[in-house]
């Protein structure tokens, strides 16, 4: 019988079973499963604990939470800010996708696109953090500055792609 040894990320493997080792690697590549194994679980969730989830009209859950007396005003306001951050992310996504497609089609250097992608993601993470946790006018101003900075990244890519196409005189063929 094989001796079980703990793996570094809580995935049990055996010392002589290649199949278990393969599954540990596959599990490691699945970030949702890793997060589920490592992070504490709350099977009921905030909405189900307080007022019940409305699956037929999920967009009304935040408004319902705001008017529910069983939910503290701070939690309700935070949920509204979370929804606002989510909606803002949906609004900026087409701009980002367009900038990346144009940059690739204009054949901008990969390093430039990669640096822009890392910058954009870092700015969006910071923006969401400030949006969700911001409760002061100073943080609201910081959120606005982060938003402008995050919009500037795809706009810069688009301008650089347009300038490269202008210099070439035509759009490069695939």
Q: What is the pLDDT of residues 45-93, one digit of tens each?
A: 555 655 666 667 666 777 777 777 777 888 888 888 988 999 999 999 9
pLDDT at 133 over 70: yes
Please give the backbone phi and psi of residue 122, each rounded to the nearest 5 degrees, phi first.
-60, -45
pTM above 0.75, yes or no: no
Query: Which one has a higher pLDDT value, 168 or 134?
Result: 134
DSSP-assigned states of every residue in 75-115: HHHHHHHHHHHHHHHHHHHHHHHHHHHHHHHTT--HHHHHH
* Domain boundaries, given as residue ranges, for the chain: 4-38, 64-166
């Amino acid at each position: 019988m094989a001796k079980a040894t703990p793996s570094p990320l809580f995935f049990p493997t055996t010392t002589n079973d290649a199949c278990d080792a393969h599954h540990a690697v596959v599990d490691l590549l699945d970030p949702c499963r890793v997060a589920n194994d490592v992070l504490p679980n709350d099977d009921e969730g905030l909405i189900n604990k307080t007022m019940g989830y409305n699956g037929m009209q999920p967009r009304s859950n935040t408004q319902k939470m705001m008017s529910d007396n069983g939910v503290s005003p701070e939690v309700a306001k935070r949920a509204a800010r979370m929804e606002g951050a989510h909606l803002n992310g949906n609004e900026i996504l087409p701009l980002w996708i367009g900038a990346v497609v144009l940059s690739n089609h204009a054949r901008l250097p990969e390093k430039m696109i990669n640096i822009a992608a890392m910058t954009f993601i870092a700015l969006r993470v910071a923006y969401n953090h400030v949006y969700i946790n911001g409760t002061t006018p100073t943080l609201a101003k910081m959120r606005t500055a982060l938003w402008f900075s995050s919009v500037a990244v795809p706009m810069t890519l688009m301008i650089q792609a347009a300038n490269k196409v202008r210099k070439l005189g035509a759009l490069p063929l695939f």
